[in-house]
Amino acid sequence: MGHSARLQLVGRVTYYLGWISLICGGLFHLKVGQSLFVAMNLSKRNLFEASVVCFIICIASQLRMDASEAEQASSAPVKSAVAA
């Protein structure tokens, strides 16, 4: 598994975790399954913070993946010119 593939995987996982925690926060706000979240000692604020952190990690992973792909694309002609 390459570097960009791992970054893409991290980005996808954190993206979906962010949405899941955001939806759970909405359900907690609407008092749907509130006893479950109270039993886990989670508040609305904790769920919101978790979703924000997941989205920030997702964005950072995507930006790093794009930067590494651009770096690999720009270094490919240099490597072929050195080999010739």
Whether the model pTM is above 0.75 = no
Exposure b/e, 55-72, CB count within 10 A at least 16 = b: bebbeebbeebeeeeeee
3 band by pLDDT with thresholds 50, 70 and 90: confident
Exposure b/e, 17-41, CB count within 10 A at least 16 = b: bbeebbebbebbeeeeeeeebeeee
pLDDT digits (tens, 9 = 90+) for 7-25: 788 888 888 888 888 888 8
Q: What is the pLDDT of residue 66?
A: 83
pLDDT digits (tens, 9 = 90+) for 34-60: 888 888 888 888 888 888 898 998 888
